[in-house]
Structures are given as C-alpha cells and as structure tokens.
Structure 1
Amino acid sequence: MDGAINLFKPSGITSFKATEQVKKITGAKKCGHGGTLDPLAEGVLPIFLNKATKIIPFLKNSEKSYVATIRLGIITDTMDSEGRVIEEVRDCEIPSIAKVEEIVKNFEGEIEQKPPVYSAVKYKGHKLYEYARKNIAVDRRARRVKINKIDIVFYEFPFLKINVICSSGTYIRSLADDIGRMLGCGGHISSLLRTRSGMFTLEDTITLEELKKRNGIDTDDKYFKKVDELLSDYKEARIPDTLKRNLLNGLPFSSEDIKGVSDKIKENEYLKVKDSNDKIIAIVQSVSKKSATGSEKNFIFKVKRVFN
C-alpha cells in the first residue's frame, strides 16, 4: 500500500498528530505529511504512506490555495487567534473597501516575506518557535515567495476574508499580519482553510472519522493517489532489466541506457524510471555530459531515490 491519502485535517491538532493517527488507522509502516498545516488551520493535508514517503522532497514546490479570515484591529504573537494578544488597536481609522482592495492587490506577485516568530523555520539549527518560547529574539531572514492571486471574498470591519493562491513556503499568517499593518490597524488569522496542495483538492479529501469507518483503504477511491499518479508530471524513462540491479544499488547510468523517454530531457531535471513491468523503481536527475566529439550533449543520470 504505497501512495498518499488526501486527508482533511481538522482544526485543533498538529499535522504530526494527524499523520500519527493515519498511521495507526491504516497500519502503515511509514507515514509522512506534505506541507505542514498550523494547528488552527484545517483542510487539505496529503499523508504519504510507506514507499511514497520517499517522494515528499520532490513535491515541495507545489502550488497552494487557501481561504483565510483575518481579524483586523488585534495583533497576536503567533499571528493567529491561538496566540497572546500583544496589541489591540482601538483608535485606528476603519479602512474603506477601496483601501482594502488596494492594499491586498499590492501583495500579488513575488514578495519578500519574513516567517512568523512561532514557526518551524530553522535558525542556526533550531526552530524559530524554540527561540520564541525562551523570549530570545533572532534574525528572521525574509524569503522570496509568490502570491499568484488574492481575491476578497468578504469584508466588514473587523473581518476580512480572502482567497489566496500562492507558492509553496508562503506563510498566510505573515501575509495577514502584513496586510493588517499596511491597513494601519494590525490583524491576525482567525480561521484558515487550505483548499488545494498541488494535485490534492478539498473536494477529494477524507476525514479521520471516515477513514476509521472504512474497512481498509480503497486505493481506487478519489482520496487516494498511487505513486504513479503522484509523479504524473515527471517525464518517464525505461531501463533494461540488465541494468535494474545496478540502478537499485544507486549506480548512475547514461542516456544511451534509457528507452522510451517521454519528452526531451533538460539538464538537472528529475525523471521517474520504470522497469519492464511498468513499475516505478527510481527517481533520477540528469547531469549534462558532452559526447566524445563534443558536438552533442549527453546525460548521466544520478539516482536520487530507489523504490525496492
């Protein structure tokens, strides 16, 4: 049973706890989640089972979608409603809808964003929240993220509800805090729903309660994605059985050894490799190498993950 469950994580538990519950329910030997959701947040949380856990690092750049409600006028230390109130802005001018629209649209595109003080981003080997709990201030370096689109769903002060489509690594808590400060009244996340994480959508999720009621996992159901589906965007190559053992032992091979490449290969590109039984056995990365004559480009493929 190798693949991923599209779990609906409820608000109030950590992503780690949700993953542990799925592991217990399914009896999987290994489990891991893709794209952490804060305890307050709910929605799409892909849980990878067994051999599929090896794929997680290769799916980190997937686009995300959220519905966020911002409570304006109150600033908390965690940038959400679970934190301690550090400032309540009582005398701010209530922003007009025109002002809100102007400010919100300014965040579309590539932006520099500092991660929240209470986050799992690491600084000198330790997570930021570990420093925050000890009241130690550290330099939170801004990271470049991309907000593809923001739409206002509802606005009636002090509540602002938005739809956000963004790159992986974007902190919606930081976005809410920044929007609040730009409006001159501060703000924090009061509710957060993730509606999409790459190929995983809200419509195809399954709850922990529903998962418990099932007699095992139906790998053909919409909430489950097999390894081949998870790597559907990857170009495909086939290797002869004579080289399969070498590949599974991590030995590199050249482009001359590959059959049935599904599309033109680029340098530093990841490919999924299948055997003669149409089974994915590895993920490899292309490294350029000039031919003996130097007139044409060849490739050496380095093994990044094997599935054996």
Structure 2
Amino acid sequence: MSKLRGRRIDGILLLDKPTGISSNAALQQAKRLFQAQKAGHTGSLDNLATGLLPICFGEATKLSGFLLAADKGYIADCRLGYNTDTGDAEGQIIQQRALPELLDAEKIQAIFAEFLGIQQQIPPMYSALKQQGQPLYKLARQGKTVARAPRTIEIIALTLLSFSGEQLQFHVHCSKGTYVRTLAEDIGERLGCGAYLTALRRVTVGDYREMYSFSQLESILQAQGMSGLDQCLLPLETALPHFAVLCVSPAEALRLTQGQRIAVETCYCAGTSVCLHREEGENRVFFGLGEIAVTEEGEYVVMPKRLLNEA
C-alpha cells in the first residue's frame, strides 16, 4: 500500500470559493496549499457561485456528512424579465417578458412569504444529479429533458435586500438540497415576468460564517509559514455544535476505542448521538461520536459510533 503524500493535518477550513472554478478545483487548490494528505469538501457550489465552502482535512472528513446536512444561507442576485436555459447567467436567454406594472418591494416581499416552509422542489436539468449514472447536465447539453423526482426542501427565511428595475437581490436561509437557481426561476414565474440568477454567494453553513479567501491564505503562508495556515483551521467538533457532549475518563475512552460500551447516566434518550471527549488533566480532547443505547437489563450505555484515528 502506497504511503500518502503530504502532511497529516486534521481540521476544517472555511474557504471563500472564488467564481469561475468548480468546488473540486477549489478543494484541490486548498489541499495543495496546506500540503494535506487527505481532504474533502462539504457541498458543491456551482462554478458561477462564490462563498463559504467548508474543506475537511484528515479526520474531519468523517464528519463531512453533518455539514452536508446543515442549513445554508445565500445571497442571490437575479435579473427579472428573462429566462435562460440553465436558470443562471451562464445559459442562453430563451424568453423575455415585461415586468408587472407597479411592482414594488412590498409586493415582492409579500410574494416571498408564499415560498416559506416545507415544500417540494424539482431539481433543474442543469445539475450534477445523476439519472441511470448520467449527470443531468450532460443530458441537458444534448437537448434532452427527463423527469426528475421532486425533493423535499424547506425555505426557512426569504428576505428582499434590494430591488431596482430588472435587478433583484434576496437572502435565503434554506435546508440542504435547495436549488437557489430553481427558487429564483419560481419567484420570477410568480411575479409573471421570469427571472434568472446572475450571481450567488453562500454566506452561511450551519453556524459557520467567517471564511478565508485564497489570497488571504497565501498572504498568511508567506508571512507566517505553514504554522500560520494551520491556525486557520477549526477544531473538528465545531461541525457538531448542537450535539450533547459526554466526557469520559481515559480508561473509558480506551474501552470505547476497542469497540466496547460503557455505562452512562440516564439523562440521555436512547438513540442520542453524543460528542465524546476524553479527560486529559484539565483539558478535554474530542475523539469521536457515540450513541446512547439501552441494554435488555434497562441500563443506559454509550456505544462507539464514529471514532477518530488519533495514531
């Protein structure tokens, strides 16, 4: 088995992805910059989009699913009165319509209210979703349209930021799997004039907000070296801000790492996932996830669920 190249680093980088490159290209650039052995991103952004792209290094990749499932926040810019074949500015204009008369911010915000809540959304043809192993966007480029199953999403908040002529900007707080391009098109149809996305910026992923651009990271590297870059990484447990924390002794931690269960207090419900912290003097070290279970005898225990490799 070949040895992995690069540094063994564990942590989460909040990257400000630039426009014009894919999420995977941004991931590979960050991986090279940090000279990391292992890295993965948590939720793709379109080439057109910018903003928050969490990059998981090393053992943080074991927690990437929790970031994929987190709510997201976006600032979207739209052009009213037009539709494109892709739903964004990268496509060709296929329809033009006049804007409604007497359209104002109050009327737009009232229409926004109709989009709040849990709903079904049909993914766009120009997406990376696959059908029978073929990405939808490849089929779309061939002029083909296929049926797509609707997906359950939630629009938690939708706020108008600005409106002037054909230009509309809004902030949306939404669940995972929401296509903001489709939302923009749906808003345009509800307004009766059509719309397409001209810019999209992701500003939040769960509780994450602050982010580093590549230029900032390169400046830190030049001024402080690799140790300075490493200071930009967040601890792994920040991916799990709403999880209960269970502190265990070193002996109990060892038993868990060996696949054994340990007894716990009954303040947890069966099935609850907990962040496991090992006591080391006055410090606590995160070493993975556990799950609360109840034995046949009625005893509450924690089972190892997803542990970090600390070797």
Shift of 1:300: 5.6
Q: What is the TM-score normalised by the length of structure 1? A: 0.85
Alpha-carbon distance in 2 for matches of 1:219, 1:239: 31
Aligned partner of 1:285 among 282, 291, 295: 291
Aligned residues: 294
Structure 1 gaps of 5+ residues are: none
Return the alpha-carbon distance in structure 1 between the equivalents of residues 57 and 304 of structure 2.
Answer: 25
CA offset at residue 99 of structure 1? 3.5
Q: Secondary structure of 2:183's match?
A: helix
CA distance in 2, matches of 1:181, 1:232: 38
Which residue matches 2:15?
A: 7
Contact 1:8 1:206 in 2 (8 A): yes
Tell me which residue corresponds to 1:80.
88
Q: 1:186 to 1:210 in 2, by over 3 A?
A: same
Question: Does residue 276 of structure 2 align to residue 266 of structure 1?
Answer: no
**Aligned partner letter, 2:290:** V
Q: CA deviation at 1:189?
A: 0.4
Q: 2:246 aligns with which of 232, 237, 240?
A: 237
Contact 2:75 2:201 in 1 (8 A): yes
Aligned pair 1:29/2:37, yes or no?
yes
Could you list the per-position Cα deviations for residues 165-223 of structure 1 after superposition, in whole angstroms to 9, with x for gaps in the alignment?
Answer: 1122211111001001111111110011111111221xx211111212222253785x5
User: 1:216 corresponds to which residue?
Assistant: 226
Q: Distance between the aligned counterparts of 1:218 and 1:297, measured in 2?
A: 47
The correspondence for 1:96, drawn from 84, 91, 103, is: 103
Question: Contact 2:257–2:304 at 8 Å: present in 1 too?
Answer: no
Further displaced range: 271-280 or 67-76: 271-280
Runs of 5+ unmatched residues, structure 2? 1-8
Q: Superposed, which structure 2 residues align to 1:1-308 within 5 Å?
A: 1-89=9-97, 91=98, 93-94=100-101, 96-97=103-104, 98-201=106-209, 204-213=210-219, 214=221, 215-218=225-228, 221=231, 223-242=232-251, 244=253, 247-248=256-257, 251=259, 253-254=261-262, 256=263, 258=264, 264-277=267-280, 278-286=284-292, 288-289=293-294, 291-292=296-297, 296=298, 298-299=300-301, 301-308=303-310
Higher mean C-alpha displacement, 223-232 vs 111-120 = 223-232
Describe the shift of the 1:165–1:225 C-alpha distance in structure 2 as closer, same or farther (beyond 3 A).
same
More deviation, 146-155/132-141: 132-141
Q: Secondary structure at the match of 1:275?
A: strand
**Paired residues of 1:95 and 1:183 also in contact (CA < 8 A):** no
- Contact 2:245/2:276 (8 A) holds in 1: yes
**Shift in Å at residue 243 of structure 1?**
5.4
SS in 2 for 1:225: coil
Q: 1:17 and 1:245, CA in 2 relative to 1: closer, same or farther beyond 3 A?
A: same
**TM-score, normalised on structure 2?**
0.85
- Contact 1:67–1:192 (Cα < 8 Å) also in 2: yes
C-alpha separation in 1, matches of 2:202 and 2:29:
20
Which 4+ runs in 1 deviate beyond 4 A? 239-246
